[in-house]
Amino acid sequence: MNLSFHPLDLKLRRTFQIARETRNIQNNVVVLLKDENGIIGFGEAAPTSFFGEDVNSVTKVLGQSADLLKHADPFQIEDITLLLKNKFPKNAAARAAIDIALYDMIGKKLKIPLYKLLGLNLPTTKITSFTIGIDTLENMCKKVEEAKDFPILKIKVGFKDDIAILRELRKITRAIFRVDANTGWTPDEAIKKLNLMEELGVELVEQPFPIGSIEALKKVRRHAKIPIFVDEDIQDSTDIPAFSDAVDGINIKLMKCGGIREALRMIYTARAHGLKIMIGCNIESSVSITAAAHLTSLVDYIDLDGHLLVTNDPYIGAAVDKGRLTLPEGKGLGVGARCCAPLPSL
């Protein structure tokens, strides 16, 4: 197989702010894996600095992986992904791009969509949340109004005015709220805020504390009813057992765990520990969002809106109508390119 890659700079529709950072652009990398018959698998890396990755680290890993993949059999995904994990343990987004491209290629070779390849139901019924980043109250109200077609909103929190903002937003929408503190709370603050949020229609809270705060999570669960999910705390399946008695659920992202294969391992590990599952994303194009969408029949909650937050997604994949995701029926990921998409060098 021949591996090539191209930078993909996604422009945010609106400045994106969470508890620890602010962004206007997301620098991703698109991967094209081509076999000897000219079949091309698409993949994407959406690196985040929180996990120590950026475009430079991704392209370095991809460059080094090209040699390893040259004579590899794409059907041996298990061997390939384990080899890459051993060689590049801290580069999950780069590995995810290759994993996704392998699954896309195999689906195309077998002429079936990815969800069928994985033995899954066609997931057309789940509704994704739509993210409202931290902003001035006025701008957050505007964002909520613009998102009026979405029945579930994920509101980013993690500042002292969280409750006041949620109260104002509740006045203008009946949407279900999920809140994500992105490590921004203290335990006492969390208990107080979660108890107040019960009356504001908050369905769950994500990552209230800095990573590794297992005792704090247990304490909050004893004093608040709203289910607690961890995101930043859980990168891959090996992280799950330590949190099984501390939280209600986990947020799985292809970019955190290294791709579809590890995401499946995480799903089954989480189920074995009695945990609920959300599948989430970074700011990504339709390539990797659609890859994650193929897994949605296995999870309880969907947060796959990364491609909706950008103005220049070069690809067409999972469609979203009033929050409801529909998968394309094409082979592999089923993703197509718009005219401006990066193309393979022929």
Residue where the block lists tokens 């999972």: 318
What's the Cα-to-Cα distance from 234 to each of 11, 57, 200, 221, rounded to whole Å?
A: 27, 21, 27, 18
Q: Closer to Mg ion at the Cβ: 81 or 182?
A: 182
Q: Closer to Mg ion at the Cβ: 30 or 205?
A: 205
Q: How far is the CB of 103 from Mg ion (least distance, A)?
A: 24
Q: How far is the CB of 154 from Mg ion (least distance, A)?
A: 8
Q: Closer to Mg ion at the Cβ: 104 or 206?
A: 206
256: left (phi over 0), alpha (psi -120 to 50) or beta: alpha
Q: Closer to Mg ion at the Cβ: 162 or 206?
A: 206
Helix ranges restricted to H, the chain = 55-69, 77-87, 92-110, 114-117, 137-146, 162-172, 187-197, 214-223, 254-257, 260-272, 286-293
Q: How far is the CB of 185 from Mg ion (least distance, A)?
A: 13
CA end-to-end distance (rounded Å), the chain: 13
Q: How far is the CB of 104 from Mg ion (least distance, A)?
A: 26
Q: Closer to Mg ion at the Cβ: 85 or 253?
A: 253
For residue 277, what are the β-bridge partners?
250
C-beta nearest to Mg ion: residue:
231
Q: How far is the CB of 158 from Mg ion (least distance, A)?
A: 11
Give the tokens for residue 149. 């077609």
Three-state DSSP class for residue 209: coil
Q: Are 97 and 62 in contact (CB under 8 A)?
A: yes
Q: Closer to Mg ion at the Cβ: 32 or 309?
A: 309
- Cβ neighbours of 85 (radius 10 Å): 18
Q: How far is the CB of 251 from Mg ion (least distance, A)?
A: 6
- Strands 249-253, 228-230: pairing is parallel
Interface with Mg ion (CB under 5 A): 180, 206, 231
